[in-house]
Amino acid sequence: MSLNKIYKKIPFKVPKDYFESFYADFFIEQELKNKVQKTGFKTPEGYLNNFNVSIPKKSKVTNLRKLNKKHSFYLSGIAAALILLFMFIIPKKDNEEVSLEILEDYLLSEVDQSDLLSNILTMDELNDLYILNVSSSEIENYLLQNASVETLLID
């Protein structure tokens, strides 16, 4: 075999039917775009031109120690644990719904949402938690044995 032929032979392979499916995908997308290109959503007249954001005022400096990221993470974890505790342990009362709403509003406005269990999980996944067989004493033991929580409390 000549050197020219060796160099011209490409050593790469593609998955089976790659080019066929590539063209098929492309044409499916084009066909769709020929039928519909826009969402159909609209805004109230002048909405975007007039849109403005109320910039939050700087909160007053207090003598409270600013929480570092590590502490915020622990607090978020504790908040999530408390929500679960409310769900599992506290018996249903007439004012339970209101209390949870107030708690949720507080968490929504004051706590970084990205760490909260309730926002990581979907409604279905949260519902699945109800069927977990975890007793109140087990949750309590877990929290007591968690060194990080104790450290935080001592701090």
Residue with Cβ nearer other proteins (24 or 138) = 24
- Biggest CA pair distance of the chain: 88
DSSP state of 89: T
* CB 40, min distance to other proteins, A: 2
Q: Which stretch binds other proteins (CB under 8 A): 8-16, 29-37, 70-78, 141-149?
A: 29-37
Q: Is 14 in the site for other proteins (CB under 8 A)?
A: no
Tell me the three state secondary structure of residue 150. helix
User: Between 108 and 134, whose beta carbon lies closer to other proteins?
Assistant: 108
What angle in degrees, to the nearest 10, is found between the helix axes of 69-88 and 96-110? Answer: 170
Provide the sign of the torsion angle of the four alpha carbons 119, 123, 128, 130, taken in this order: positive
Please, which residue, 127 or 141, has the CB nearer to other proteins?
Answer: 127
Residues in contact with other proteins, total (CB under 8 A)? 37
Residue 61 binds other proteins, judged by CB under 8 A: no
Q: Which of 1, 10, 64, 123 binds other proteins (CB under 8 A)?
A: 123
CB atoms within 10 A of CB 106: 11
- 73 touches 115 (CB < 8 A): yes
Catalog residues that contact other proteins under the rule CB under 8 A. 25, 28-29, 31-33, 35-44, 47-48, 51-56, 101, 104, 108, 113-114, 118-119, 121-124, 126-127
